[in-house]
């Protein structure tokens, strides 16, 4: 930390627009604006656009600090409502990315109609409150100069539209593309993916091929010259709106569902008897109530059954699951319920999001964001310890690291003779995991915290623990 | 296939750079009226270049 004395911590993910920058102080999320951005903000905050978007929950709640603090180098300082858990687009499911794109287009349409525009078009402009997307980049609004196309179109393609096209048309999970490239997928790369007859799929001829060809052709033209030429040729706000409508229609058409994957019908095919499930639900409910957590994490959340139980007692729950198809189903269900406190995320816990971008901190790593007062790891440990060969002590170290000191870890041990564990073991050489035993597991738990509750499920092959972590 | 690979530089546009090609393509995406705008833009460029040509070669 460079400036610990004033308690200001600059948000490492917010430097791309030099005119405004997010920082944290005393638990608050603040945004500093230079003179020009301050003028844009004052125009925006006085508008119906701002009032309407905020009232609809589409724009993060924002107010200006009056008077402007004197100990920071900014012309104005805004305070934003805190987003409970910051996530990255490569942690979202397909329907989440699509809804984020639709929100961005909707915000832009409303802005254009009100005489504003957004400077950029990035997926990173959107965050989540549970299953509700919210536009967070208040610094992105500026007055529309008539006759100008949307400056954010290229970014919109790279971080939102192209990933959607890749998944909807090619059936490839989009997440690895976005995780690997902080600025998204470039038109040039897209053209190669969409060669041959694929070039005729919806949205591809124009937004991919024509776009890529135009970029190559105009690589040497300055964008301010082109802006002036377009204005002279009669580009208008109506045209900009027509473009947004076209994009919206296209994104709506891309109503793809990631294939039914292995775990989607887990709840139907799993080995739980009704008494087992009942006992497990009761245990989790009691442990959550006793913890009275602010935040909760459900690891290996599947259909979110236990995330919902946690949400009875926690203010906010992040439900993490490796299978993008399963997360998509969960997200749609939560969205349709209007759920604002459970955030589903795609994440392989054996390969969680690393830090990314500049210096590896522009996008924070999952383990640096995810500490919670209540951590559920139900029917998960065997997947990591047997399925992925992670040594059992390391699995528990990771679970402990995700739990706030004094918080609870609720963990299920699936015994080696349980049918599900046997299935995983059957794929591995005999005798590979001699330490995967409940007594070894309990010893490891005891070294990391205090076991305050323990229950064996009626089937006799699974044991649940509530462990209060050190401190 | 003009410029594929050769003009790799275009893929590293700065963050708040809208990109010249990305601006023009939006006109085309906006339907008939947009195509007309793009056509006009190209026509004007052509005329400008044509007028300039004799001196350019000097
Ligand atoms: C047996 S189910 C348990 C679901 C739920 N927690 C329960 O107790 O009913 C295991 C879940 O963990 C997920 N899972 C397995 N390995 C994972 C990993 N490495 N990262 C994240 N999720 C994982 C699976 O996709 C599956 O949905």
Total domains in chain A come to: 3
Indicate whether A111 pLDDT > 60. yes
Pair (A76, A96) in one structural domain: no
Predicted pLDDT at A444: 97
* CB spacing of A217 vs B8 below 8 angstroms: no
Indicate whether A263 pLDDT > 70. no
d(C-alpha A453, C-alpha A464), whole Å:
8
d(C-alpha A434, C-alpha A437), whole Å:
7
Confidence tier at B36 by pLDDT (50, 70, 90): confident
The tokens of A148 are what? 């100008």
- Which residue's structure tokens are 């109530």? A289
CA separation, residue A385 to residues A299, A355, A411, A451 (Å): 14, 24, 13, 21
pLDDT tens readout for residues A189-214: 999 999 999 999 999 999 999 999 99
For residue A142, what are the β-bridge partners? A117
Contact A188/B at CB under 8 A? yes
Of A223, A256, A289, which one is at a domain's C-terminal end? Answer: A256
Pair (A242, A281) in one structural domain: no
**pTM for this one?**
0.93
Residues 6 or more apart whose CB falls under 8 angstroms from that of A162 comprise: A177, A184, A185, A187, A190, A207, A208
Pair (A51, A180) in one structural domain: no
Domain-located, residue A440: yes
> Among A274, A296, A380, A381, which Cα is nearest to A342's?
A296
Pair (A126, A55) in one structural domain: no
Q: Which residue has the higher pLDDT, A216 or A315?
A: A315
Domain-located, residue A25: yes
What's the rounded mean pLDDT across residues A33-39? 94
Residues 6 or more apart whose CB falls under 8 angstroms from that of A388 comprise: A350
What's the rounded mean pLDDT across residues A384-395? 95
Give the torsion sign (CA, A255, A258, A259, A265): negative
DSSP per residue, chain B = -TTTTTTGGGGG--TT---HHHHHHHHHHT-HHHHHHHHHHHHHHHHHHHHHHHHHT-
Give helix A237-253 / helix B20-29 axis angle, nearest 10°. 80
Q: What is the CATH number of the domain that holds A286?
A: 3.40.50.150
> Among B32, B44, B45, B18, which Cα is nearest to A211's?
B18
Confidence tier at A3 by pLDDT (50, 70, 90): very low
* CB spacing of A218 vs B20 below 8 angstroms: yes
Pair (A247, A302) in one structural domain: no
Pair (A397, A426) in one structural domain: yes
Confidence tier at A18 by pLDDT (50, 70, 90): confident
Residue of chain B nearest A222, judged by CA positions: B20
> Is the distance from CB of A49 to CB of A111 less than 8 angstroms?
yes
Of A231, A256, A281, which one is at a domain's C-terminal end? Answer: A256
- Which residue's structure tokens are 């050769």? B6
Pair (A269, A252) in one structural domain: no
Predicted pLDDT at B13: 52
Predicted pLDDT at B11: 43
Indicate whether A300 pLDDT > 80. yes
Confidence tier at B43 by pLDDT (50, 70, 90): confident
Atom from ligand 1 closest to the CA of residue A412: 8
Confidence tier at A169 by pLDDT (50, 70, 90): very high
Predicted pLDDT at B2: 40
What's the rounded mean pLDDT across residues A440-459? 96
Domain-located, residue A75: yes
Domain-located, residue A327: yes
* CB spacing of A216 vs B29 below 8 angstroms: no
Predicted pLDDT at B58: 39
Give the residue, out of A302, A367, A398, A455, with the most ligand 1 atoms within 8 A of its beta carbon, to mutate for a pocket test.
A302
Pick the residue whose CA is nearest to atom 3 on ligand 1. A379
Predicted pLDDT at B9: 41
Pairing of strands A342-346, A316-321: parallel
Q: What is the mean pLDDT of chain A?
A: 93
Q: CB B29: neighbour CB atoms within 10 A?
A: 23
Chain mean position to CA A283 = 29
The answer to whether the complex's ipTM is over 0.85 is: no
Indicate whether A447 pLDDT > 80. yes
Atom from ligand 1 closest to the CA of residue A267: 9
Which residue range(s) make up the domain with A35? 9-80
Indicate whether A104 pLDDT > 50. yes
Domain-located, residue A4: no
Of A226, A256, A286, which one is at a domain's C-terminal end? Answer: A256
pLDDT tens readout for residues A47-66: 999 999 999 999 999 999 99
Q: B interface mutation test: which of A109, A149, A160, A358 has the most B CBs within 10 A?
A: A149
What's the rounded mean pLDDT across residues A156-165? 98
Domain-located, residue A1: no
């Amino acid at each position: 930390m460079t400036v610990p004395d004033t308690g200001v911590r600059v948000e490492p993910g917010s430097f791309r627009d030099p005119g405004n920058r997010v920082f944290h102080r005393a638990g608050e999320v603040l945004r500093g604006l230079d003179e020009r951005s301050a003028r844009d903000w004052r125009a925006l905050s006085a508008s119906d656009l701002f009032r309407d978007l905020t009232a609809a929950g589409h724009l993060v709640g924002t107010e200006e600090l009056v008077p402007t603090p004197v100990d920071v180098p900014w012309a104005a300082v805004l305070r934003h409502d805190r987003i409970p858990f910051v996530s990255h687009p490569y942690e979202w499911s397909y329907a989440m990315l699509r809804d984020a794109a639709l929100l961005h287009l909707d915000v832009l349409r409303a802005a254009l109609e009100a005489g504003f525009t957004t400077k950029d078009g990035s997926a990173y402009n959107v965050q989540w409150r549970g299953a509700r997307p919210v536009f967070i980049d208040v610094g992105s609004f500026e007055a529309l100069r008539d006759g100008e196309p949307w400056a954010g179109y290229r970014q919109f393609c790279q971080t939102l539209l192209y990933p959607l096209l890749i998944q909807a048309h090619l059936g490839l999970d989009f997440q690895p593309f976005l995780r690997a490239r902080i600025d998204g997928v470039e038109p040039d790369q897209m053209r190669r993916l969409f060669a041959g007859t694929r070039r005729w799929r919806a949205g591809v001829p124009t937004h991919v091929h024509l776009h890529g060809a135009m970029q190559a052709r105009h690589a040497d033209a300055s964008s301010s010259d082109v802006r002036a030429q377009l204005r002279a040729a009669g580009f208008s706000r109506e045209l900009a709106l027509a473009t947004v409508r076209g994009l919206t229609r296209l994104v709506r058409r891309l109503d793809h569902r990631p294939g039914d994957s292995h775990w989607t019908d887990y709840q139907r095919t799993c080995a739980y008897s009704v008494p087992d499930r009942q006992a497990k639900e009761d245990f989790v409910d009691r442990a959550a109530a006793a913890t009275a957590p602010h935040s909760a994490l459900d690891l290996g959340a599947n259909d979110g059954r236990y995330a919902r139980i946690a949400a009875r007692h926690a203010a906010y729950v992040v439900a993490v699951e490796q299978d993008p198809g399963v997360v998509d189903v969960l997200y749609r269900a939560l969205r349709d319920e209007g759920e604002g406190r459970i955030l589903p995320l795609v994440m392989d816990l054996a390969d969680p999001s690393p830090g990314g971008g500049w210096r590896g901190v522009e996008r924070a790593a999952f383990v640096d964001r995810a500490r919670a007062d209540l951590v559920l790891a139900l029917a998960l440990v065997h997947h990591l310890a047997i399925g992925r060969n992670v040594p059992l002590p390391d699995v528990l170290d990771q679970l402990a690291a995700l739990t706030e000191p004094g918080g609870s870890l609720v963990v299920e041990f699936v015994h080696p003779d349980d049918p599900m564990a046997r299935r995983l073991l059957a794929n591995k050489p005999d005798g590979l995991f001699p330490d995967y035993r409940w007594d070894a597991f309990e010893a490891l738990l005891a070294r990391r915290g205090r076991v305050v509750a323990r229950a064996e499920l009626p089937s006799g092959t699974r044991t649940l623990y509530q462990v209060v972590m050190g401190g | 296939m003009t410029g594929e690979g050769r003009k790799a530089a275009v893929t590293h546009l700065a963050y708040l750079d809208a990109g010249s090609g990305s601006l023009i393509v939006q006109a085309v995406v906006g339907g008939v009226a947009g195509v007309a705008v793009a056509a006009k833009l190209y026509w004007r460029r052509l005329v400008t270049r044509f007028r300039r040509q004799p001196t350019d070669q000097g």
